[in-house]
Structures are given as C-alpha cells and as structure tokens.
C-alpha cells in the first residue's frame, strides 16, 4: 500500500501530455472480444483498471500484450470461456461491458456484480433490459448473472436514463445481431464516439454516436482492427484545475477542447484564463477564484467525474458556491476529507454548499474513490504545508503516472509506502 505526500503552495508550470482515456479503452477492450483476428489499441493508458481488464480477457483465453510504445495487442481468437473471474470482476466495474460482446460471440456469459468506485448506487438494470431485448435469457443464481442467447435480433430501444455503460453494452452486442438496432435517448459522451470508431474499424456498421439516437446495422462477423484511444478528458480537466488551484500555468497537450467545454466555461467564469491552440489547452490561474454554482449533467453538461475536483477548487474561492450532483447519489465523499483540510462544506442530499476559505491547510486524508482521490491531491497542491493522501490505489485506477506528471510541472508529490495499512 502506498500514499502520496504532497507539499503544497507550488504553482504548476509547464507542459504535460494527456494519456489515453480510461473510459474509452475499457469498453474498447471488451469490444475486441468479438474480433476474428488480433486488435491493436494505441495510446492505451497503463492503469490498474486496464491491467485488471487485461487479466479478465486472459482468463477468458485471450492473449493481451503491452508494447513498449503504450499499445495493447489483444488476440481474442483463442477465447474459449464465457465465465468472467469473480474476484477480478469485483475490481473493475467495466467488466460488465463484457456481457454484450460475450453474448454476441460465445452465446453465453457468466458475470457477478461489478465493483469499481463506491459512489453510490450503480444499478445495471438498463444493461440487462437491453440484452434481454436483443434476445438473451438472464437469470441470477448464487450472486452470479448467467445470460444465454436465445435469439439475437435488432431492437428499437429507448433508455430511461442516458446511461453510458448501457449504451455501450447494447451497441456492442447489437453489432452481431440480425437486423437493425436503434438506441434512443442514448448517452452522448465522447467515449461512445471512440467506441463507434473502433467498432466500425472492426467491420461493424454503427452511426449516430455522439447524438441521442444510435443506429447499428448487424453484420455477420467482425475482424481485428487498429485504433488510437482518445485523450482522457477527465485527466485533462484535472490538470486544468491543477493550474488554477495553484495559480500556475499549464499546457495540456493532446487535449480536445470540445471535450472540456463545460469545465472551460466554469473556469473562465471564476476568473481563470483558458486558451486553445492546435496542440492543446493552456490554463492560467489568476489570483483567488470567484465562487460559482455547478450542476453535474450527462455530456455535454458538467461531468460528474469532474465534480470532486471542482469542489476542491471552489473550497478556496471568494464567496459561496453550490454544487448539485444529479448523476450519482453518494458522490460527496471528498467533502468530509476536504473539511479536514479546513474547507467549509455543508451537504444537503445531492447539494453541497461551499463557503470558500482563503487557503486550505495540509492534513492526512483518505482517497475513498478515484475522483475524490484526485480532488484531495489537488487540494494538497494548493494547501499550506504537507498533505498525506492515503488509499491511492483508487487514484492509480484512473490516472497514469499521476505523481510523475505533477512533479514534471513543479509539484512535490511523493509516493511513499503506507506502513500503517
């Protein structure tokens, strides 16, 4: 077990490159299961979630190799099992994405309830509803979900909620179904567009990703493909906030401006400068940020995955801010930890009221999930004195070489062993 020791009050300055997106590579790795020949995924981030997903694929019979230039080579042709390892499944929520692809390829799948971040209730009813509609029987036995393909036919489905995962699962399964599938009220996140690009490179016929209606024309088989994973917009956003919270200036290369528009407009509103050029995004913090209100929404709204990080920033803003979390019901876990650092945050259900203080002070805090962990590191970067962030395995799930990247920008973030665990 490791923890981060962060020495605060050092402005981040310099240029850093965004890694490939965790939330794009994980479903794409699941999609690769359906290919009839090997797939190469360039710009795959080296994250613990990606390593766990690789082990899951290997457990199914695939081979997965990481090359020295950051690509993953997946050979799914030797897959001979439909059973997803229970212990690994508990470690990474995205393992649920294997349901659609394995049903399409093997005709059956056995999974257990997925793990991942503890950010409140995360049901999978919409995934199951879609797969049942495509023609699977689904039953629950001794904590396992066992699904079998009875038919596999195109459907016209309206999602009650634009769930990212359910959209992706149905989209992947439908690629090998007979006829046309239409997903209405689909999620519009950029990672879904990346998945569409990969599926089409495999020979699928998918269009509409990025809008709320996705149309998939089933094909008979899919082949291996080469694809470059999109940049991680949440990592980009985290680094952008890093610049503002420390009053520094950071350029994030390989960032897509359109993917971080909601955050950009908030940062400008609170007084930061944000510039785009062909290579990336430059963010400059200018004095104490002003308070503002934030409401999380599906893309292109303000992402729930950036909510803990902006809470850290608003805790040192001039004035009172209100954050409303509409996507997950228990995603203010960082508030209490930020409180240990001197933040004044009151929670009322899905709303947090943040009375900005002039500065935070270093303390020992616990990262209880991925993004709250990032928020505590950001708070530590701006705080007076030393902050110790424990539970950083949660941060390693989704940030590639986080401390190295921050140190390259002038921060002091040391990974040290946590002997008290």
**Given the rule CB under 6 A, which residues bind ligand UD1?**
23, 26, 94, 121-127, 161, 163-166, 187, 191, 304-305, 327-328
CB of 389 to ligand UD1, least distance (A): 20
Calpha distance 323→310 (Å, rounded): 9
Calpha distance 297→358 (Å, rounded): 29
Which of 224, 308 has the CB closer to ligand UD1?
Answer: 308
Number of Cβ within 10 Å of residue 242's Cβ equals 29
CB of 2 to ligand UD1, least distance (A): 23
Residues in the chain: 421
Calpha distance 283→255 (Å, rounded): 12
Which of 131, 341 has the CB closer to ligand UD1?
Answer: 131
Calpha distance 225→199 (Å, rounded): 8
**What's the token pair of residue 28?**
């794409």
Number of Cβ within 10 Å of residue 276's Cβ equals 14
- Catalytic-role residue among 3, 24, 53, 117: 117
Give the H/E segment covering residue 380: helix 370-382
Q: Which residue is nearest to ligand UD1 (CB)?
A: 165
Residue 117 a catalytic site member: yes
CB of 339 to ligand UD1, least distance (A): 23
Burial bucket for residue 341 (CB in 10 Å: 0-12, 13-18, 19+): buried
Which of 312, 316 has the CB closer to ligand UD1?
Answer: 312
Calpha distance 196→374 (Å, rounded): 29
CB of 356 to ligand UD1, least distance (A): 26
**What's the token pair of residue 195?**
């998945």
**What's the token pair of residue 302?**
């303000």
Which of 113, 276 has the CB closer to ligand UD1?
Answer: 113
CB of 54 to ligand UD1, least distance (A): 15
SS3 173: helix
Which of 91, 282 has the CB closer to ligand UD1?
Answer: 91
**Which positions are annotated as active-site residues?**
117
């Amino acid at each position: 077990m490791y923890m981060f020791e962060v020495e605060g009050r050092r402005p981040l300055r310099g240029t850093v490159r965004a890694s490939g997106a965790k939330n794009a590579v994980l479903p794409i790795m699941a999609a690769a299961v359906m290919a009839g020949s090997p797939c190469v995924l360039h710009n795959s981030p080296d994250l613990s979630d990606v390593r766990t997903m690789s082990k899951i694929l290997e457990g199914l019979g695939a081979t997965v190799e990481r090359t020295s230039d950051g690509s993953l080579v997946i050979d799914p042709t030797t897959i001979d099992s439909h059973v997803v390892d229970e212990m690994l499944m508990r470690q990474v929520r995205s393992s649920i994405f294997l349901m659609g692809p394995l049903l399409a390829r093997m005709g059956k799948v056995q999974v257990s309830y997925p793990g991942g971040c503890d950010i409140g209730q995360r049901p999978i009813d919409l995934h199951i509803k879609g797969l049942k509609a495509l023609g699977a029987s689904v039953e629950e036995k001794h904590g396992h979900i066992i699904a079998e393909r009875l038919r596999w036919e195109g459907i016209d489905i309206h999602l009650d909620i634009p769930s990212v995962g359910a959209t992706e699962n149905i989209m992947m399964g439908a690629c090998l179904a007979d006829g046309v599938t239409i997903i209405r009220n689909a999620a519009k996140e950029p990672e879904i567009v990346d998945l569409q690009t990969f599926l089409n490179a495999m020979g699928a016929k998918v269009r509409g990703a990025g809008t709320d209606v996705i149309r998939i024309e089933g094909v008979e088989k899919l082949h291996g493909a080469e694809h470059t994973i999109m940049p991680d917009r949440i990592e980009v956003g985290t680094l952008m906030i890093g610049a503002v919270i420390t009053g520094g200036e950071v350029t994030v290369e390989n960032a897509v401006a359109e993917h971080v528009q909601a955050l950009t407009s908030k940062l400008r509103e609170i007084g930061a400068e944000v510039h785009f050029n062909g290579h990336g995004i430059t963010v400059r913090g200018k004095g104490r940020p002003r308070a503002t209100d934030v409401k999380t929404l599906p893309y292109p709204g303000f992402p729930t995955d950036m909510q803990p990080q902006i809470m850290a920033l608003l805790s040192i803003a001039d004035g009172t801010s209100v954050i409303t979390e509409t996507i997950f019901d228990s995603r203010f876990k960082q508030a209490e930890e930020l409180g240990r650092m001197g933040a004044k945050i009151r929670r009322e259900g899905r709303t947090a009221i943040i009375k900005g203080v002039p500065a935070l002070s270093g303390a020992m805090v616990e990262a209880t999930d991925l993004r709250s962990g990032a928020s505590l590191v950001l708070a530590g970067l701006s705080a007076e004195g030393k902050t110790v962030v424990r539970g950083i395995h949660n941060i390693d799930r989704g940030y590639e070489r986080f401390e190295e990247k921050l140190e390259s920008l002038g921060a002091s973030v040391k990974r040290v062993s946590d002997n008290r665990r």
